[in-house]
Chains A and B, each alone.
Chain A
Amino acid sequence: MVTSYSQTFTIEGRDFSHAGRASTEIKSILKQLGIDSLTIRRVAIAAYEAEMNVVMYARRAVMKFEVTPRTINIVVDDEGAGIPDINLAMQEGYSTATSEMREMGFGAGMGLPNIKKNSDDLKIASTVSKGTRLEITIQIH
């Protein structure tokens, strides 16, 4: 099994037609690397929710994906409005989504809670009017 890999993706805000491309590619890469299926599913869900958050709320972001022998790390740095109250954003059901986002099937206030649920460690740092940084760590079993 290959246990070291990294790749960087660029995600554009509002680009709904390409939303999901980075995380579906991450999922395919993890399959090729022979990572176990439960871990792949957790990483894919966390990455996809993070990607959708960028598409919905930010101007653009860089998503850095790294596989090490013991962990999978995803760091998403976006340029955007930022999150004024992270504790509130972490609550299931809290959302500032528009009707357009809801029509896409997202914006139900489950994004960050879903990322947390599928991560072993999640760090969020945000500056209003600048952007948000997510650091997601998932252990490989």
Chain B
Amino acid sequence: MMTLRQIKDALLCEVFSGEERVDLPIEYGCASDLMSDVLAFSRSGAVLLTGLVNIQTVHTAFIAEIRAIVFVRGKKPDEGIITLARQKNIPLLGTAYSMYEACGILYKKGLISTMEYGENVASHPSR
């Protein structure tokens, strides 16, 4: 568990929207450019790291109860995306780190994955 502020500091983030919500608790991390994977494998209360910057990123986050979005590799959302994110109360942040680096930094800080292994839990390498 981290707060959004801790994630913002760890990834040296710019905040595009939701500055007032930086004390939100973030329970899990997930990273994908495929929104169907986010819908299939994420859990409520996660931060989404993605290189996909469009309106569907925000819709997907709202539907899947993603608590905040971090755009990687210095990508910036346009005004339409920011407006929708404000309406849906989803903070938008951006980092210059690549997806790989951003995931690694948060993982090292103890933010766990949203991935639910279910019956395959024994096969996960960390078990």
Which residues of A come within 8 Å of B, CB atoms?
A: 16-17, 19-20, 23-24, 27, 37, 41, 44-45, 48-49, 52, 104-111, 113-114, 117
- Knowing A110-B36, A111-B36, A114-B40, the reply to whether A45 touches B56 (Cβ < 8 A) is no
Which residues of B come within 8 Å of A, CB atoms?
A: 33-37, 39-40, 44, 52, 54-57, 59-60, 62-65, 88
Residues of A close to B33: CB separation below 8 A: 105
* A19, A48, A52, A113, most chain B CB atoms within 10 A: A48
- In the complex, the answer to whether A20 meets B59 with C-beta atoms within 8 Å is yes
- In the complex, the answer to whether B59 meets A49 with C-beta atoms within 8 Å is no
- Knowing A19-B59, A106-B56, the reply to whether A45 touches B64 (Cβ < 8 A) is yes
Residues of A close to B34: CB separation below 8 A: 105-106, 108, 110
- In the complex, the answer to whether B60 meets A48 with C-beta atoms within 8 Å is yes
* B36, B52, B55, most chain A CB atoms within 10 A: B36
- Knowing A41-B64, A104-B54, A105-B52, the reply to whether A110 touches B37 (Cβ < 8 A) is yes
Chain A residue nearest in CB terms to B34: A108
Some 25 contacts from A to B, beta carbons below 8 A apart, are A17-B55, A19-B59, A20-B55, A24-B59, A24-B62, A37-B44, A41-B63, A41-B64, A41-B65, A44-B63, A48-B59, A48-B63, A104-B35, A104-B54, A105-B34, A105-B54, A105-B57, A105-B60, A106-B34, A107-B36, A108-B34, A109-B36, A110-B36, A114-B40, A117-B40
